[in-house]
Structure 1
């Protein structure tokens, strides 16, 4: 069955004159606010959010998207379906927000790093196989692993451009997929269909669809396609003809790399995050229910939108490292050292630096993807939410866990956290952490992405007994949470050894609700964990921030708000004073375990933030990174609107701390509303600083989980177990090497 949705009771805005009668002077007066749209396309769904100038989300809708795997490792999607889902979500979110579409002046997109194939002549979808007759299936999903041999061939070149993608390309990147298409696409009239294709990363395709422009983002081409920005390591055009010819892709070199987006400044344009691509085309404005006065920002890969949506958060409790940094630097320089951990089924770790820092097993460094002349590094854990799901579902007590948690009215995670607290008491243990002191859980069930970068790594668990009780499941789950924390420490340690200076971790995703996991992350890494204003919506919120940057240009261009308004989708506003957000500033879950107890202010009664009330199954799905509904379910309702936020109704008011920012524009001044002309010195403002000001203005307040004292017994125990964790990783590789040598000797003997 499809998920049931609770319609949001969103307070409306004060009434405005019909947009068709708004004068330019009125538009630039303090009486007319500006709004932004964020669009996020994940693996299983598309989402859209409407955000105001305080950073409040006024409407947010989600719709499932399908994916097909008609042959193992060949996973495809449909760009037409994705665009239609986006349009549906934007219109739905507009309806929820009850604002006039003409007041939306910026839109930003993020998406998975999937490859989109389009006919160069017709701009229509081109099939990517394995069924090349189905042109609707024109996206090779990021998780598609069909291009194994092509990936090996590309990496065998040892081309210098590979050092900027972590030393070798991943099978999940775009160039191996393109090479596979060349090798496998059929011919038509004696010519391969590959020659008719042009290619986009999905986020870039969405900005193309929205504007009809061929502009590409540095985020997509640098991170996933082998583009090395001009001036880096002798790069002249960004794309390397030598490299592409070396991997037998001369078709991509032809016409000055036209199929990939062209040469910057010649026949192509490449932008940093949030830079303006242009206004919505008339066709896309109509389809989205917006206007041509809405400007489109250069998009980003979804994990990078999570970075945007979290790392500029302020905190109630000062974080000394951030306070010190803010005194020393300004603008986007403040972002350096703030690690974003974007968690779902897997977790991405993204950090910015002013200089290129090469880290073994970490992708990058990537220049210009967020801000001009700044570099980003991307580490990652292959499975985090997926790991917890596996540990729970494969244990003999899993069914009992389901019955018990349902009876208690808690999610499985909150139930297990409570169970661990009770176990601590009944066993007379010092703490919950000490319950697993002799369980050594190494959880790379699905290979290691960072920092070992070994896809052959597997799990090893030392200390298991034959106990199959619910208590043993609780302790095994504790071990899995500890592993996630220890592996995060491993990634950060390697990054810092290479030259990064990580000051704190900004989390996002449903795992933020798991107080046990958040406490373990803080104590394993020794770093403050900052829980953002929006747990589940941080990625789509980051996309909306991109739109806020582009909105500045919309106002500077002086576009009347009513230009090319879709009257069919125009929505009347009604009277209200302060529009409350349906999404509160959530903290980690109010877990029943003392280990997850955070600083004061977990709920309204203590003066802190309320957080969304979810059903236990919704809570679990969010923490595991699962899509909201299985689109292959024949009983699912295609027209179902999947909304986030409180199921018990919207919050009664926007938190006072956010309301105090009400008069600040998304750029940190009144300039966004057109009240004040730009100062001469601001005309050369770095694009990264523009983005950072938007991030600072809209991000709002986050909550801090500080690590325990270095002398805390749990910190000492975790430090010792970290040594065991490293030894387990090294030993596994040594054991495999020993076995491989033995197998080689056996093969040599048998061949005699």
Structure 2
């Protein structure tokens, strides 16, 4: 039986990339931004300052219902209430005056919201059409299978810009399903992607985002491939969706530049309405930026990270002209249950099995591509849950006070020593794991793909589970290489991969990603909060002009016309959207996570100091560590006894189940903070995406880089050989399936004859 470990080998010292060790510029006086992220299971909000430092973070669960298989719905009112709850928590915990919040941004899952045109109230989407609270068809809802087939058989040119065919998870199939199943049809309806609905709820504006409409609803921006109106009248009429065509497509937001407003990421939607400002605890002077799909907020929140490594710095600045073109070549991998891969190009690149190219979604005249893996986090969880040693692993990890993944990594490390093996890669050399349990999104785009595992024995021990777990990690990394290679064949030039999400804490997986792809892996300052941080940057982009005006007047202008009104409403605000008073079991500490980060990262603001970013050192050929990625030493910020506290973690992780923020506020409040001052204004740049990139570049902060091993390293050579096996497993499965299907087709013909 494997030993019980008393302490995680991935200790504080091996996981730091802390902003505590980085010199920050003084923030601009009294200027803050709020970000809102709506995921599948929760709503989150954060508040940041002008260094991009998260001062407060709050999360609240949201429900989803599946009253019938493949029918999955949510409630837009519940989601808005959860958002308001989280924003007010952030304001309370950070101590920021609501009148000093200049901008707010929203991101959300790509789910379809249905609203009554006349009353602006929810319309039920079924299966219980009498329940008008359930007015969102969630992205993962698969009710519209026949409608998806019908749309894809049309061969309309818009399909070319969604990877060749619409996914059942996109929104036009859902609209078509409602046309034929909603009592009375869709005559009363108007439609929003969830992110666009949230900006509508906040401002009253009918503006739509290019991100939502181009990526998920079939809009082809004017000027692309002969498109004049964005929406195709002929296409929609052929689908029996004439209602969507009426009055220049009013139900979809209209025609760009005619009767509709369509915006790129962070463009100004408007200011908060009186009602929204009261519900959120903000003011009517707070400016709302155009929202994005959640994965795209992950791109915004990560790809401008800075690292101090000669090789990587050169790659990141190869097009360093100070415009958003600098981001081209930076692939964002937004990882969770699944993983999205987003990259930007100046010119369109059509990639097999990759959605897009999408024009104008981030910045005017730039294109984005979106690849993805159907299961990554879910794959690792599944592999652990189905193995005979699953319960034993749970017990051993719990008694060792480790996560299951940390425990497995330690087992693998121990097995390398026990078996006198060169490395963990060599330890698993005969495990060939192909993990498309849930179909393939990219680059094969084949939902029929399934898993295959070669090299299993009858060993049911935890050690065998560790080897299989390694195989799953290797599969994730090898498939990422496959996606990158297909993108590069189509014209992308991928230089680095910017990760986000909880998987970043798995040193084994990050090392495999670097060595399989041969690319540097950059881990952001905020691991779990990268997406909500990205949405806050949208608010900063939208508010830039207002902030400059405020700073030029030295903050003396009273710009918050509704401050007094908001203050008078404070008593009611405590009840709005939060369900009134809480019992101890439903109080914020029980139902939501929050973090007070008010003084974060200003510990080293010593006059005369230089801004330095610690970096990862390249791994020596003879000493590649697949579990721990040591950082370059940096000057200490806290006392030695603080530094030795294993409960603190300087990589900033804001998971609702994490305890990494315990005691942080007390330490930060003891810091000697410098006075606030404004920074010098710079020459205005009106190039496409200039505001977005300026904000991203300024606020994103430092990242940690994991360099791939030398290409001649034995593990790189072994992984290259196994990549050929991986590809063979992938394409042979399709070949085998086709061979069997042909036989079965002949068999069915024979049965009909007899």
Shorter-chain TM range is 0.7 to 0.9
Contact 1:48 1:60 in 2 (8 A): yes
Q: Deviations over 1:623-665 (max 9, x none)?
A: xxxxx5xxxxxxxxxxxxx8885234348459x9xx999867x
Supply the RMSD in Å over aligned alpha carbons. Answer: 3.1
1:305 aligns with 2:297: yes
How far residue 577 of structure 1 moved from its aligned partner, in angstroms, is 13
* SS, match of residue 40 in structure 1: strand
- Residues 44 and 30 of structure 1, relative CA distance in 2, 3 Å threshold: closer
Q: Where do residues 471-490 of structure 1 align in structure 2 (5 Å cutoff)?
A: 471-490=463-482
Structure 2 spans left out of the alignment, 5+ residues: 1-25, 551-556, 572-595, 605-612, 617-623
How far residue 551 of structure 1 moved from its aligned partner, in angstroms, is 1.4
Q: Distance in 1 between matches of 2:341 and 2:31?
A: 32
Q: Where do residues 211-250 of structure 1 align in structure 2 (5 Å cutoff)?
A: 211-250=203-242
- Residues 461 and 256 of structure 1, relative CA distance in 2, 3 Å threshold: same
Q: Distance in 1 between matches of 2:569 and 2:476?
A: 46
How far residue 550 of structure 1 moved from its aligned partner, in angstroms, is 1.2
How far residue 600 of structure 1 moved from its aligned partner, in angstroms, is 2.3
For residue 543 of structure 2, what is the aligned residue in structure 1? Answer: 551
Contact 1:602 1:610 in 2 (8 A): no
Q: Distance in 2 between matches of 1:555 and 1:697?
A: 15
How far residue 687 of structure 1 moved from its aligned partner, in angstroms, is 4.6
For residue 40 of structure 2, what is the aligned residue in structure 1? Answer: 43
For residue 597 of structure 1, what is the aligned residue in structure 2? Answer: 628
Contact 1:57 1:582 in 2 (8 A): no
1:177 aligns with 2:197: no
Structure 1 spans left out of the alignment, 5+ residues: 1-28, 623-627, 629-641, 672-677
Contact 2:28 2:50 in 1 (8 A): no
For residue 689 of structure 2, what is the aligned residue in structure 1? Answer: 688
- Residues 321 and 557 of structure 1, relative CA distance in 2, 3 Å threshold: closer
Contact 1:412 1:620 in 2 (8 A): no
Q: Where do residues 669-708 of structure 1 align in structure 2 (5 Å cutoff)?
A: 670-671=680-681, 682=684, 685-708=686-709
Q: Distance in 2 between matches of 1:456 and 1:663?
A: 58
For residue 104 of structure 2, what is the aligned residue in structure 1? Answer: 107
* SS, match of residue 117 in structure 1: strand
Q: Distance in 2 between matches of 1:741 and 1:229?
A: 42
For residue 469 of structure 1, what is the aligned residue in structure 2? Answer: 461
For residue 74 of structure 1, what is the aligned residue in structure 2? Answer: 71
* SS, match of residue 417 in structure 2: helix
Residue from 49, 54, 58 that aligns with 2:55 = 58
Q: Distance in 1 between matches of 2:645 and 2:196?
A: 33
Q: Where do residues 189-208 of structure 1 align in structure 2 (5 Å cutoff)?
A: 192=185, 194-208=186-200
Question: How many residues are aligned here?
Answer: 676
* SS, match of residue 186 in structure 1: coil
Contact 1:201 1:221 in 2 (8 A): yes
The alignment's TM-score, normalised by the length of structure 1, stands at 0.85
For residue 394 of structure 1, what is the aligned residue in structure 2? Answer: 386
Q: Distance in 2 between matches of 1:102 and 1:621?
A: 26
- Residues 323 and 502 of structure 1, relative CA distance in 2, 3 Å threshold: closer
Q: Distance in 2 between matches of 1:201 and 1:295?
A: 20
1:371 aligns with 2:371: no
- Residues 100 and 427 of structure 1, relative CA distance in 2, 3 Å threshold: same
Residue from 275, 283, 286 that aligns with 2:275 = 283
1:521 aligns with 2:513: yes
- Residues 569 and 437 of structure 1, relative CA distance in 2, 3 Å threshold: farther
Q: Deviations over 1:501-526 (max 9, x none)?
A: 00000000000000000000000000
Q: Where do residues 641-680 of structure 1 align in structure 2 (5 Å cutoff)?
A: 645-650=660-665, 652=667, 670-671=680-681
Q: Distance in 2 between matches of 1:660 and 1:160?
A: 57
* SS, match of residue 315 in structure 1: coil
For residue 675 of structure 1, what is the aligned residue in structure 2? Answer: none
Q: Deviations over 1:381-429 (max 9, x none)?
A: 0000000000001111111101111111111110110110000000110
How far residue 327 of structure 1 moved from its aligned partner, in angstroms, is 5.6
Contact 1:583 1:645 in 2 (8 A): no
For residue 355 of structure 1, what is the aligned residue in structure 2? Answer: 347
Q: Where do residues 135-154 of structure 1 align in structure 2 (5 Å cutoff)?
A: 135-154=132-151
1:495 aligns with 2:487: yes
The alignment's TM-score, normalised by the length of structure 2, stands at 0.85
How far residue 321 of structure 1 moved from its aligned partner, in angstroms, is 6.3
For residue 564 of structure 1, what is the aligned residue in structure 2? Answer: 562
1:745 aligns with 2:746: yes
For residue 10 of structure 1, what is the aligned residue in structure 2? Answer: none
Q: Where do residues 336-347 of structure 1 align in structure 2 (5 Å cutoff)?
A: 336-347=328-339
Q: Distance in 1 between matches of 2:603 and 2:360?
A: 32
How far residue 596 of structure 1 moved from its aligned partner, in angstroms, is 2.2
1:273 aligns with 2:265: yes
